[in-house]
Structure 1
Amino acid sequence: MSAEHESHGPHEAVDPLTAALTGGPLPPGAGADPAYLAAYRSARSDLALLRRHLDLIAEAVAEPPAPAPVAPERPVRRRVSGRRWARGRRPRALALGAFAAAAAASAVFGLGWVLSQGAGSGLDAGGGAGKEVSSRGAASVFGTPGYLACARLVAEGDVRQVRREPGSDRDRVTLRVTRSYRPAKADAEVTFLVEESAAPGPGDHVLVGIGRHAASPDTLVTGERDIAPLRDRITGALAAARSLTCEQP
């Protein structure tokens, strides 16, 4: 591991979540770091989702209930004990508020992957997925609905071929897909580029995550032992991811 990777680079002085919260320009060098950009874009998506649901909560709480119609006087009747909502919009408002609050809480929880992952995400300085990805970092990424909503591919498979890409220091990996999480149905074979030093070997079983417009994975996990604990994280986050709209450009 190079000294540059260990120091994480000057742009990581401003983490992706802080950059998304402030809305200012990205720090120098961040635009060339796919992992930083993936974290930054996911944070922006989660923040936008959070703002929308907070608006729903505000509307539900602030909107007064519709006035109850004035009924003609009737003979006094004995009231049956029990709770009954007055006519108006209060039940709907409370239900909407509860739903929005739950959704907002989910969005806030999703921001946790940015904080726990930082900008590293197991990528090397050249922008390819590193062969060694910590289980904690991969779990944070793949267990986040915001990440899954913006990923063009999250899949497992067996490496069929690794071939040097002409005119570059990257390898083109051909993967036979055995299980696709995002999208639900992928091509039988997919290809992607990785740095030569990070490329898996033929026959390796890998779990790969590739961003919306990326040619290279931002997260690559090799081996059944490391992949197995991530499956439940992915399937658990997929339901929430399907209800999200990716706001990455």
Structure 2
Amino acid sequence: MATTGEALTATGYIQHHLTNAKMCFDESGVAFNYACQDAGFWTWHVDSLLFSVGLGMLFLWLFRKAGKKATTGVPGKFQCFVEMCVEGVDRIVKDSFSGRNALIAPLALTIFIWVFLMNLMDLVPIDFVPEAANRLLGVPYLKIVPTTDLNVTLGMSLSVFALIIFYSIKVKGVGGFTKEMTLNPFNHWALIPVNLILETVTLVAKPISLALRLFGNLYAGELIFILIALMPWWAQFALSVPWAIFHILVIVLQAFIFMMLTIVYLSMAHEEH
């Protein structure tokens, strides 16, 4: 797919599909270039925002609809699916979360379904939506998989990190949280600087690893689909179908890992000792 009417090279094709649609702002705060490249910090990846927020709203609408139509009689297929998701996540939270917090189960369910839906966009043929956007709307770049954007995965992980800090201080108090950071693992005042460095690295590593794990797996999967699309048509079908089937496992597994680690991290934040 070319934006100038000329065929893209293999390198250009890969770069094109890995480029976000951007809304940039100058010093006066006015948007000036939809496909800008070097605009600094104040740049919006509008495709990531559009699809992530849209899929989140789709999740809320579908589950609300299932809840309103829930019946004690013979449930429909979608109600069975929703009940399986809710009961499965609730069971995982009861087994993995040691504290008492009514927020954890809804948060875990939201994370799992939302991340799953964003990952699922990776199974849409890579040229289908971008080509339609280019022809109908004149949008030259469009990435439809939000989790292949580090800004999205890091934003979600930083939200989890904020909850970790909040509940650590709420449950343990400022003094307890300070002691945890300064007197662990070596319970001696002389080793407070060492403890603080070790605990700070451990704490900061949680959101970074959470974001990079999800981003890396989905970005690699998307890149493989792009490389397959560069091959002859007969090879594309022979390779894309097996990879898509295998990638379904990656899509579900990465959503589950992100949810599971969130539960574990928040459980650790609720441990008073």
**Scaled by the length of structure 1, what TM-score is found?**
0.31
Greater relative CO (CA pairs within 8 A, separation 6+)? 2
Greater strand content = 1
Larger Rg belongs to: 1
